[in-house]
Structure 1
Amino acid sequence: MNDQVSKLSDEGYKPEGYIHYRKIDTGSIKSQVVKRKGKNDKVNEVLQVKKVLEDRKIPFNVVDELNLDVTGSLVPSNGKDFTLTHNYFLDYWGAIMGHAAVMTFIHLERYAYGHKRHCFPEIDQICLKMQTSRPTLNKYMDILEANSFIARIYRKNVDTKKDASPLFIIRQYIPFLSPEQVNQLPKKLREEHDKFVSSLKGIMLSDNSELISQAEIKKALSTSERFGSKEKREPTTEQIRRYQAIKLGTMETEDVECHVNLQHALKKRVSKPSYDTWLSHTVFTFNRQTKELIASFPTSFQREWVQGHYNDIIKECIADTLGEVTISYKTHENEIETGV
């Protein structure tokens, strides 16, 4: 590996005229119901849950200095460890990331010709050659990015504010698996890996002297200025749990018991995935004067879904203990945002 790594600007990339940004996981999720065709062309309603991502603008000098090859110790080569790509990558990283992610990297690598670290791959062509969909290919690229094989930098035209093709930064050298990853290998493959590493005795291995600066770059990639979408973010799981704990802490003992008993009853009536998604973060309060049960939800979508799909089950669960009551549905997302 060369001590002096070229910057993207040295490789001919022209950053002028573009805003560079990353898509950062906010920790929130967005739920929506979509219609999909099933057997016999029957249209079914399917719940789709997606992570909420946020655009974060980053200065080009951070992008320019991003070097993925300083993450981890690099596998040395004696010139015989290759077919068309490094055998260590095929054999061991393939077992960890999956063959499809490995093939995706090989396709991406082809676009970084002339020892460049950046490229603008034709994603549709890769989908065609791998016979896979764009969303599936994105999942493979997520795996590569999580293991520091690629970094996707999204771009907007400064003048038109329209999206431009993403800039891909590609790793040039293959790193060793971490000890934790080695332990994930099947026993036979782990033994082969240990044998391979033993054969490298006497060969100089790379060190991680630049790892701290790389960590700083990665931190900059994830904490830079927010911009773009004004879409209201849904509360994170941590915010929801904190609100629920605070709310229950302010309630009378008998009201807390009512909430807990109803939650236990619902757990028995609803499947665990459905309960965790729709009901686990609900706050139930009972007004004894008006005989009204108030079910409060973190988001409007959850409130509407439960009201439409679980209203009868909730009524049945409370009939034995509270009798005939009126159920009101509300949300507390505004209270979560203000930290109430």
Structure 2
Amino acid sequence: MLDKNLKGTHHKLLYYRPRPTGAQEIKVRVVGDSEQPYIKKEMEKIYILEEEIKRFTLDKHGQPIPYVDGHMTIISNYIWDYWGHFFSAEGVALYGHLKRYCYGDKDYCWPDLNLISQKMNKSRNTVKKILANLEKYGFVLVFNVQNADKNNMEESPLFKVRKKVPFLPLDLYEQLPNDLKLDHDRYMQGIVEQFDQILQLDPAVDYGEIYEDVISKGEVVRKPKSSMELEQELRNKVKFLEKQITDQDRAVWNLVLATLEKKLSSPSFVTWFKNSFCIKKGLVYTVYSPNNFASEWLKSRYDKLIRDTLNQVEAKFERIEYDYISYQRKNENGT
């Protein structure tokens, strides 16, 4: 009987590496109803004996890192095999970066997120998006940190990290591709046989509610905004809306104003509709006024008239919303 091959079977396996020959071939592919020629590199197969592959090792190249106790991070294969489908490879990598700092009984850490971004070769914003995904599935929760002894200076965040890997909830298991689902079934069967117990996947956990429960135990502190900050917010909002509004929006609202001007008294029209405009997103029109008082007045007193007029001009919308682009200045007594 033949000895087992490197894959552990008794088949005779041939091992090879493909290599470009330097020549090119003209191939033809069908795109739609037409044939398109393209150039393909000619490849050759180089077969290597199994004994040569056994003798070959990558470990003799480069200086090996000496083993140091505590310099290894253990991550369950269940993370790689099943949770990774939802985390993405980047999510698994970020989880590993955070977990490495949670040694012993610690389930929290405060590494430099910029440094982790460089290690992953990702931008800080990308790492934050990956972090949000880990939060979604209950593997990490981020707490921002201020130093009260240093005038509330912002420090690196604190990361609460899950250390015990849970089974996929039932709804996520159902979202696995068929091959991965079958692989998960085999894994679960192995667990059942090894530990002699019946396992059932739990329903999904709403981590949003869990996080809200944590937040509900905190104290809300809102820093009042200065007039300069409010005015900057206003300028930013105006710039944003200027990019959103289209020529069609302007044309529609000009027709609406022209109709309303004929139906209302001149003082009412000028008071409530001067400097107003609208922006359509999908099937929703948002009517903007220069201040909150005018916006509330349009919503409470003129909504039906605006709706009827818009229906005459542009029938393809479902609802109207109201907003404003200014803010209410506080008077001298702070109210």
TM-score range (shorter-chain normalised) is 0.3 to 0.5
- TM-score, with normalisation over the residues of structure 2? 0.45
**Greater RCO, 1 or 2 (C-alpha within 8 Å, sep 6+):** 1
Q: Which has the larger radius of gyration?
A: 2
